[in-house]
Structure 1
Amino acid sequence: MIPAKRLCLSAILLLAAAMPAYAHVGIGTASSFTAGFMHPLSGLDHMTVMVAVGLWAALKGGKAVLAWPAAFVGVMLVGGALGMLHMPLPFVEPGILASVVTLGLLVALAIDLPVSAGVAIIGLFALFHGHAHGTEVPENAGGLEYMAGFAIATLLQHAAGIAAGLGIRFRGLARAAGAACAAIGIGLAFGIV
């Protein structure tokens, strides 16, 4: 096993052993476009993951620049629909925390995976983020406006990560941002952040 794989595995095991710090606590109303748009901008977990997806896509380049953000948003919307339908999904909060650490490490270590493998990893984490958003929608609200809002905000955060990743001439800065993302995830897991 190479050191990068050991580091990722250690981080995931550490998160699994930690008591989950809940990242999604139902901020405000969840029944309007504005609430949906603002929610991803108000959570440190969501912001760091979205930027990390963009940074990782920029580091990979090529098809990943479009495929990875599109995969995240598409699967996040599916997860949101499942949450709105009250379909249970185990390990949502630990999955969200693991996404912050894992995606941060993938950027920090500049892990070069095939685009399809990146889609699978990103899609898995997107399902957790989407489900958490969907469960916040009240039963008497349609939720479509809310989902549209958080989808657009998420795309904008991906775009910011891509722009930063492509604009940084020194790859070490993008990797440092990934390390900061992973550190934030560990801080969230232990209630430090």
Structure 2
Amino acid sequence: MKIKNKSVLKCGLGLAGLALVNLAQAHSGHGGHIGPSETEQASGLLAGLLHPFTGLDHLLAMLAVGVWASQLWQGRVRLGAPALFLAMLMLGAVAAMGGWVAPQLEVWVAASVAAFGALLLVGARAPAGLGLLVVAAAAWVHGQAHGLEMVTGASASLFITGFTLGSAVLHGLGLLMGSALARLPARLAQGLAMALAASGLLMVLSRL
């Protein structure tokens, strides 16, 4: 299982890296195209960096990934789930920028929040593979949502870099939160997980 998970992560990160390289080439000044100005590039990077913090659904999902990872693993292994999320996040954004967008995208984004709540509620009783599948699927739809909201005229690669860094910060905060929650009574942690799932369901209902 460890070898398989590492292979999935390496593959995802490699594909995401290739996609970013292609985007950078497509939006640069090479090939006769005029690239974005330095001001537009800076605004794109900053907008991307702040984007995960501006939506409650994104914010809750990013934090939940870190909390869940801290529940299941210790040490550097905990970084596996956030790394997978970030790789799929970038790939989802690239797909959306290329015109491939999942139907009812906002509903799926909200559903991912509910799914993370359920995952946290079940905790270690859920198979790690199932949890990683939820992480990958959620990252894909969140990445698509980010990609559709890119700042006009901004560099796509810098915008992606920005929201990936912002998401990584939230994952880190989630890991810290998970460590703190582990010291609290189990009922309190379960109550927070139920509240997260309920908030996700309410978001889904509001977007149907």
Same fold, TM-score > 0.5, yes or no: yes
Partner amino acid, structure 1, of 2:138: F
Bigger Rg over Cα = 2
- How many pairs does the alignment contain? 164
Q: Contact conserved, 1:40 with 1:154, CA < 8 A, in 2?
A: yes
Equivalent position SS for 2:123:
coil
Shift of 1:140: 4.2
Query: Is 1:56 the equivalent of 2:68?
Result: yes
Of 49, 58, 83 in structure 2, the residue corresponding to residue 70 of structure 1 is 83
Of 101, 117, 129 in structure 2, the residue corresponding to residue 116 of structure 1 is 129
Q: Contact conserved, 1:60 with 1:112, CA < 8 A, in 2?
A: no
Of 116, 124, 148 in structure 2, the residue corresponding to residue 103 of structure 1 is 116
Alignment match, 2:155: 142
Query: Is 1:181 the equivalent of 2:193?
Result: no
Alignment match, 1:166: 179
Deviations along 1:43-77, one digit per CA (max 9) or x if unpaired, are: 10011111111111111114751111111110010
Q: Which moved more, 1:53-62 or 1:29-38?
A: 29-38
Q: Contact conserved, 1:71 with 1:123, CA < 8 A, in 2?
A: yes
Alignment match, 2:48: 36
Q: Which runs of 5+ in 1 are unaligned?
A: 1-28
Query: In the aligned structure 2, how far is the partner of 1:64 from the partner of 1:187?
Result: 33
Q: Which runs of 5+ in 2 are unaligned?
A: 1-39
Q: Contact conserved, 1:56 with 1:106, CA < 8 A, in 2?
A: yes
Query: In the aligned structure 2, how far is the partner of 1:112 from the partner of 1:146?
Result: 37
Q: 1:138 to 1:105 in 2, by over 3 A?
A: same
Q: Contact conserved, 1:67 with 1:119, CA < 8 A, in 2?
A: no
Query: In the aligned structure 2, how far is the partner of 1:190 from the partner of 1:125?
Result: 18
Query: In the aligned structure 2, how far is the partner of 1:149 from the partner of 1:116?
Result: 29
Q: TM-score, normalised by structure 2?
A: 0.71
Q: 1:55 to 1:77 in 2, by over 3 A?
A: same
Partner amino acid, structure 1, of 2:65: V
Q: Contact conserved, 1:52 with 1:178, CA < 8 A, in 2?
A: no
Query: In the aligned structure 2, how far is the partner of 1:174 from the partner of 1:33?
Result: 35
Equivalent position SS for 1:190:
helix
Q: TM-score, normalised by structure 1?
A: 0.76
Alignment match, 1:191: 206
Q: RMSD over aligned Cα, in angstroms?
A: 2.3
Q: Contact conserved, 1:105 with 1:179, CA < 8 A, in 2?
A: yes
Query: In the aligned structure 2, how far is the partner of 1:71 from the partner of 1:98?
Result: 19
Query: In the aligned structure 1, how far is the partner of 2:124 from the partner of 2:204?
Result: 23
Alignment match, 1:3: none
Alignment match, 2:20: none
